[in-house]
Amino acid sequence: GEDVEQSLFLSVREGDSSVINCTYTDSSSTYLYWYKQEPGAGLQLLTYIFSNMDMKQDQRLTVLLNKKDKHLSLRIADTQTGDSAIYFCAEINGGTSYGKLTFGQGTILTVHP
Amino acid sequence: DAGVIQSPRHEVTEMGQEVTLRCKPISGHDYLFWYRQTMMRGLELLIYFNNNVPIDDSGMPEDRFSAKMPNASFSTLKIQPSEPRDSAVYFCASSGTRDTGELFFGEGSRLTVL
């Protein structure tokens, strides 16, 4: 079945860039997502990328997709303390399991002042 | 729209008791999902519905868990009898048919079974 893996922890200083990495196994993934979970809250969609794209930029966020290596990354420029949260990578195979996302285990980002 | 609404936000109960968690999805959304989050297992999909019909319940741990969606604006997740290992945060999420994976999550119900 599908599998999505992420490193568990990332610690950066305020103002630096953060890069969160994700690998997935389903070569038929149609969309890949980054969700953010703040303490005591549900997940919130940050951004997503179609599988036929290499890169997507949205303000401070840059998503890079290497489809050959099945590797997805999220770069946060000028990281702020408010960016401290858990970040989940997720994928969907629109052809066979519409609506059903597979999530990674989440990366805990800690931003130090 | 108020977003996905879950209740209760917190529930503490004793082993063996019945627990009912409730969810009101965003109006107009056709998909409803129940997830469970724990430190050990991360985020697990329990069940999801499309147009009130259960599509995939393969993530439901065992017969003690059941979920219903009697209409488009309400769903319940029931655990009977509850056990300490059911302690977790349970999330409900909804999604519209034209969306391709943007789930809108509720704030979760934190369940503690003593």
Higher-confidence position of A105 and A2:
A105
The 3-state DSSP class for residue B54 equals strand
Q: How confident is the model at residue A21 (pLDDT cuts 50, 70, 90)?
A: very high
pLDDT at res. B40: 87
* Alpha-carbon span A71 to A21, nearest angstrom: 7
The 3-state DSSP class for residue B79 equals strand
User: Which residues neighbour A68 within 8 Å (Cβ) at sequence distance 6 or greater?
Assistant: none
How far does the CA of residue B107 sit from the closest CA of chain A (Å)? 5
**Lowest model confidence (mean pLDDT) among A9-23, A26-40, A69-83, B55-69:** A26-40
Q: What single letter denotes the amino acid at residue B112?
A: T
Tens-level pLDDT at each residue, chain B (114 residues): 689 999 999 999 999 999 999 999 999 998 999 999 998 888 999 999 999 999 989 999 889 999 999 999 999 999 999 999 999 999 999 998 655 678 899 999 999 999
pLDDT score of A1 more than 70: no
Distances (CA, A) of B8 to A97, B70, B112: 30, 19, 12
pLDDT at res. B101: 72
* Alpha-carbon span A37 to A89, nearest angstrom: 11
pLDDT score of A35 more than 70: yes
Contact at CB, A42 and B105, closer than 8 angstroms: yes
pLDDT at res. A92: 82
Determine contact, residues B3/B104, Cβ cutoff 8 Å: yes
pLDDT average, residue stretch A15-42: 91
Q: How confident is the model at residue A94 (pLDDT cuts 50, 70, 90)?
A: low
Pairing assessment for the beta strands A9-13 and A107-112 based on DSSP bridges: parallel
pLDDT at res. A95: 56
Question: In A, which residues are within 8 Å of B108 by CB distance?
Answer: 41-42
Determine contact, residues A3/A25, Cβ cutoff 8 Å: yes
Distances (CA, A) of B72 to A18, B23, B46, B75, B100: 40, 11, 19, 8, 20
Contact at CB, A33 and B101, closer than 8 angstroms: yes
Residues, chain B: 114
* Alpha-carbon span A77 to A79, nearest angstrom: 5
Contact at CB, A99 and B95, closer than 8 angstroms: yes
**What values do phi and psi take at A106, rounded to 5?**
95, 145
How far does the CA of residue B39 sit from the closest CA of chain A (Å)? 9
Contact at CB, B100 and A106, closer than 8 angstroms: no
User: Which residue of B lies nearest to A47 if distances are taken between CA atoms?
Assistant: B102
CB atoms within 10 A of CB A96: 11
